[in-house]
Amino acid sequence: MSKVTNFVRNCYICTMKYIIRSLKYFLYLLFLLVIFVAVIYFVTAKGAPLESLFRNGYNSLWAMAAVLLVLSACYPRFGYGKRRIRANGTADEIITKIEAHMNARGYELESRDSEDNLVFRQATFMGRLGKMFDKVYFTRALGGYEMEGRLKDIIRLDTAFCDIFEETGE
């Protein structure tokens, strides 16, 4: 495959990941908005029409949805990232340590390809639901692995992996 073809393919994959993450986050926020409006309605309205709940009626709901759309469009840029794990040793040794640590953190191995790239997800359904079914990707890189996923999770994992691989002198 040529470099141009690889570049186009990688751009397409990154764009699709971004769009999927934005849509997931938008649906997640929209669900929270519906619950929020329902709670307000049942606590305060007492039989009044829904449009009387806000000053501008249904236009307020559309405005809130527009704000959620903007937030969800920006979130993947700031909420997801990559970190690098520096580790020496054979691929099997490194993978064994990564798997053991990820299992201890409540993740399970979802897939491992022929190039030793790994994909982990939360082991429990409630854990997956809480993290919006996001996964942590480990891609083989020079001198270790590159983690990709939710930035909050990646930073926690990165700190722990630094301790694990420094402890053993690797």
Residue 116 and residue 59 share a domain: no
Residue 66 and residue 121 share a domain: no
Residue 83 and residue 163 share a domain: yes
Residue 13 and residue 61 share a domain: yes
- End position of a domain, from candidates 78, 106, 129: 78
Residue 130 and residue 112 share a domain: yes
Residue 84 and residue 11 share a domain: no
Residue 44 and residue 92 share a domain: no
Name the residue type at position 110: E
Residue 90 and residue 31 share a domain: no
Residue 87 and residue 161 share a domain: yes
Q: Which helix (H) or strand (E) holds 120?
A: strand 118-122
Cα(157)–Cα(154) distance, integer angstroms: 5
- End position of a domain, from candidates 22, 46, 78: 78
Angle, vertex CA 23, rays to CA 18 and CA 24, nearest 5: 100
Name the residue type at position 15: T
CATH of the domain at 110: 3.30.310
The pLDDT, as a whole number, for residue 102 is 92
Domain that holds residue 25: 3-78
The pLDDT, as a whole number, for residue 1 is 56
**Number of domains making up the chain:** 2
The pLDDT, as a whole number, for residue 167 is 56
- End position of a domain, from candidates 78, 96, 115: 78
Residue 86 and residue 64 share a domain: no
Q: Give pLDDT tens digits along the chain (170 positions).
A: 576 677 777 777 778 888 998 999 999 999 999 998 888 888 886 777 877 888 888 888 889 999 999 999 998 888 888 999 888 878 888 889 999 999 999 999 998 888 888 999 999 999 888 888 889 999 888 888 899 999 988 998 888 888 888 755 44
Residue 115 and residue 67 share a domain: no
Instruction: State pTM to two decimals.
Output: 0.77
Residue 129 and residue 70 share a domain: no
> Measured between alpha carbons, how far is residue 15 from residues 10, 22, 36, 139, 167 in Å?
8, 11, 31, 18, 38
